[in-house]
Structure 1
Amino acid sequence: MATETERKFLVTSDAWREGPPGMRICQGYLSLDPGRTVRVRIAGEKAFLTIKGATSGVSRQEFEYAIPLDDARALLDLCVPSPVDKIRHERQHGAHLWEVDEFLGANAGLVVAEIELEDADEEFDHPEWLGGEVSDDPRYYNASLARQPWSEWGA
């Protein structure tokens, strides 16, 4: 059984942009149940099916499997309500790799950085571009952004 321990932060400047270009990701959700999400993702020319359990603190069970690209394209058509489109940039800072997601479409303007940790209490260096933590705010979960995009929050 795999466990994901992840913390999520807003990004406050463009300083993270220095570095290699990112990868376009399109992902949709076949299940948005709070106890389990089922996601299909196309990242570049690779595709994955991911099942995530309920979040407990900053951890949850995660199972990810490579699937054929054509299957992923067909599964995206079954997703509810709409896919999340973003560019993922990987940035090394200290001993950790950060994933900076620059959202597109209905979530354009939102930039979030994630870090995966060995355990919830692990210490890590904070890059200068890192803002407030949103790990405990379910609105920033990608599954939530599919249901209620960032552009609609003020409405």
Structure 2
Amino acid sequence: MYDDADEREADTGLGDFEFERKFLLRELPAEAASDPTPSLIVQAYVFAEGGFAVRVRIKGPVGDLDLDAEPSALADALTTADDAVGTLGVKGPANAGTRYEAEREIDPLVAGSIAARSSSLIAKVRYSAWLGEDGWHLDRFLADNAPLLVGEVERARPVTDLAIPDFCVTEVSEDSRFGNEYLAHHPFPTWAAEFADEYRLLGPGFMQTLGENRFGE
């Protein structure tokens, strides 16, 4: 299993930067179902404009929570969950798979209480798995953004020469519409048909500036 603790391999001296590539998925792979401890994540966006965002997140075990509940109710439920973690994050615009992100842990009761009172929310179940040489996060979005499925790979340095599994439809690393801060204000079903038309016209696309893309591995 792949866990958040593995996201950054070591202190590379690169500070508060994340190196990530993101993909639209056609389905959740079997590896996701094998994750014994998927996480529920609820995120509130205090500010989001021009690629910049301020985010409050609460994350905890799915357990027996009702995932059909409103995101605000899920956030409230997580405030008292065992092993819940609250964070405050500040993000800058993404550029070629690199994005500034400073994230600090805060009291989960505070994080959950802020999220429960916010209107711009994202709720998702996150599965984690090692696939080949990389740890993947596989997100199943809930509530207004269902049935969106997104997978991402993060490394301590730029994500080059990536093995891209068959369940990836197309890369969305540089499509700001798939940023959580955008989805919080513009749920995926409201523009999914427009995206589908674009896909039929243009087909799949993958970044060509980060080494060799290897498919079906």
In the superposition, the TM-score normalised over structure 1's length comes to 0.90
Q: What is the distance in 2 between the residues matched to 1:78 and 1:13? A: 32
Could you say which residue in structure 2 is the equivalent of 1:67?
A: 106
In structure 2, the gaps of 5 or more residues are 1-14, 61-83, 195-217
Q: Percent identity?
A: 32
Could you say which residue in structure 2 is the equivalent of 1:5?
A: 19
Q: Secondary structure at the match of 1:123?
A: coil
Could you say which residue in structure 1 is the equivalent of 2:87?
A: 48
**Preserved CA contact (<8 Å) 2:93 2:100:** yes
How many residues of Structure 1 are paired with residues of Structure 2 in the alignment? 154
Moved over 4 A (4+): none
Q: What is the distance in 2 between the residues matched to 1:20 and 1:118? A: 23
Match of 2:115 among 73, 76, 90: 76
1:33 aligns with 2:49: yes
**Preserved CA contact (<8 Å) 1:30 1:78:** no
Q: Secondary structure at the match of 1:101?
A: strand
Cα RMSD for the two superposed structures: 1.8
**Preserved CA contact (<8 Å) 2:24 2:151:** yes
Q: What is the distance in 1 between the residues matched to 2:51 and 2:175? A: 16
Q: What is the distance in 2 between the residues matched to 1:53 and 1:78? A: 24
Could you say which residue in structure 1 is the equivalent of 2:170?
A: 132
Q: Secondary structure at the match of 2:165?
A: coil
Q: What is the distance in 2 between the residues matched to 1:116 and 1:145? A: 20
In the superposition, the TM-score normalised over structure 2's length comes to 0.66
1:19 aligns with 2:34: yes
How has the CA–CA distance of structure 1 residues 128 and 147 changed in structure 2, closer, same or farther, with 3 Å as cutoff?
Answer: same
Deviation at 1:89, TM superposition (A): 0.5
Could you say which residue in structure 1 is the equivalent of 2:131?
A: 93
**Preserved CA contact (<8 Å) 1:26 1:84:** yes
How has the CA–CA distance of structure 1 residues 149 and 25 changed in structure 2, closer, same or farther, with 3 Å as cutoff?
Answer: same
Greater Cα offset, 30-39 or 121-130:
121-130
Q: Secondary structure at the match of 2:112?
A: helix
Q: What is the distance in 1 between the residues matched to 2:117 and 2:96? A: 30
Flag the structure with higher helix content.
2
**Preserved CA contact (<8 Å) 2:95 2:174:** no
Q: What is the distance in 2 between the residues matched to 1:130 and 1:78? A: 35
In structure 1, the gaps of 5 or more residues are none
